[in-house]
Amino acid sequence: MSLDYLWTGFAVALTPSNLLLSLLGCFLGTLIGALPAIGPINGIALILPIAYTMKLPPESCMILLAAIYYGAEYGGRITSILINVPGDAGAVMTALDGYPLAKQGRGAEALTMSALTSFVGGMLAVVGLTFFAPLLGSFAVRFGPAEYVALMMFAFATLASMVGAEPVKTLIGCLIGLLLTTIGLDPTSGAYRFTFDQPELHDGIEFIIIVIGLFSISEILLMLEHQFKGTLKPIPIGKGFPSWSDIKACWWPTIRSSVSGFIIGVLPGTGASVASAVAYTTEKRLLDKGTFGKGDMRGLAAPEAANNAAAGGAFVPMLTLGVPGSGTTAVMLGALMLYNITPGPQLFTERPELAGGLIASMYIGNIMLLILNIPMVRIFVKMLQVPNTWLIPAILLLSILGVYTAYSSVMSVLLMLAIGVGGWALRKQGFDMAPIILGFVLGKVLETNLRNALALSGGDISILFQSTISNSLWVMAVLIVLLPWWLARRTKARASAEGA
């Protein structure tokens, strides 16, 4: 495929009005991403009617919507790092090392580093999109139910890294997450499970409600507790730029996570939350010497690179196959249809200004976001100095408003609060929230696909081991479990050999 469309695209994306839209989208997206519960999908749904009323041409509309989308992936990390409240689903893993970093007074550094890794992830994804889109489109199609099962088993294998000092608690957390996924419509038979005749529970508990409950609400409760005990210390905001050695340490984790995040983003069944989870747990499995989860820059870099790369990857099936790669691209696809444009490989030849304009705007948007975000770090970190008497009500208000805006139901708000109290109780007992989240994210995809695979084969389990893709993933799953153990043994053996 020639790259003519891309040059046409840059000509489109660099017009002053489209540049302005890109900037506007990046700014709005960052804001939307930073607000709890309101993620890119709601943001785009809110902006879409405005774009129509403005009678924007299709390419400008897409440029605006795409800018909001990847802007939100940037924005989600801000509150994750500073107050342990993930702004959207893809930013959950960012909190694991981001928040401890902020507490150590390295919040500004963490924000800068995450902006840099987000940039790398986003950029690599656009490059991937530019050069490999059609190839990856046909790769994504080869993922059927059986392949997704193998992918999820690989993801669960990386989870082994989360087993820290208290393996039983990690396991229990993961099981709680798995149990929560069983609430709602049975994905295959259509029967309702554990819904207690509440229509709000028919679709199961929304991921974002669990995230806001477990992180934001339980965090508020902990803060209140410290507030009354008077054990809360003010957090210094620190200097703005990460050290050279930190950047060097984050280099490979960022590249690896960008690549894996991009590929997971390309697959229509998985998105930014799975991508960041896999990236984080893989890096922890490969690199951790007890520092992950306690404020390790690499644990921050990995999920941030991955979620931005996944957002870029989600455009691959949309542009090459005409099927959405994520909920957000589904809304964008609907928007394209309204312009009477059918996405697909012919888009690159028939509407180069659109396909090219969109991709070119992603290059520009990523650079804009980096420029926008680095100086804004100084403003964001001010959040750390807001006294708790103001911060706590503000987080609570934003959480409740966010969930209510997204689901328009009081029941969802109550559910979020109840989950929050549950999460607080678990945290008091020394449980981590991350395994619960991971169990929930991966469990849903695993169950649906396992049951679909078995429905296809009529119950024959060998379907899971039939394709090259599945088998490679199974091998990788085994390797990721055994590799760190084997590496440790080898180093030990070598050390003793040298000692002798």
Q: Check if the beta carbon of residue 164 is closer than 8 Å to that of residue 170.
A: yes
By CB under 8 A, is residue 142 in contact with another protein? yes
Among 134, 344, 422, 484, binds another protein (CB under 8 A): 344
For another protein, the binding residue among 17, 346, 349, 385 (CB under 8 A) is 346
Site membership for another protein, residue 200 (CB under 8 A): yes
- 186 lines the binding site for another protein (CB under 8 A): yes
Q: Which residues contact 200 (CB under 8 A, 6 or more apart)?
A: 409, 411, 412, 415
Strand spans (E) along 226-384: none
Site for another protein in 288-317 (CB under 8 A): 317
Report phi then psi at 458, rounded to 5. 70, 30
Q: Which two tokens stand for residue 24?
A: 């506007």
Site for another protein in 394-413 (CB under 8 A): 406-409
Q: Does 185 bind another protein (CB under 8 A)?
A: yes
323 binds another protein (CB under 8 A): yes
Residue of 25, 71, 90, 144 interacting with another protein (CB under 8 A): 144
Does 448 participate in binding another protein (rule CB under 8 A)? yes
Distance CA 159, CA 319 (A): 32
- Binding residues for another protein restricted to 42-61, rule: CB under 8 A: 42, 44-45, 49, 52-53
Write each residue from 214 to 253 as x if it is in contact with another protein (CB under 8 A), else as -, in one continuous string: ----------------------------------------
Nearest residue to 348 (alpha-carbon basis) of 48, 123, 129, 121: 129
Residues 247-286 that bind another protein (CB under 8 A): 268-269
Alpha carbon distances (Å) from 19 to 14, 26, 67, 315, 427: 6, 11, 10, 20, 46
Phi, psi of 345 (to 5 degrees): -60, -30
**Residue 346: CB partners within 8 Å, gap ≥ 6?**
none
CA distance linking residue 235 with residue 257, whole number of Å: 30
Q: Closest approach of Cβ 334 to another protein, in Å?
A: 5
The vertex-96 CA angle with 91 and 98, nearest 5°, equals: 80
d(CA 455, CA 70): 37
Q: Is 343 in the site for another protein (CB under 8 A)?
A: yes
213 binds another protein (CB under 8 A): no
Regarding 140 and contact with another protein (CB under 8 A), the answer is yes
Give the binding site for another protein (CB under 8 A). Answer: 41-42, 44-45, 49, 52-53, 140-146, 185-190, 192, 197, 199-203, 206, 268-269, 317, 321-324, 327, 330-331, 333-334, 337-340, 342-346, 406-409, 448, 452, 455-456, 458
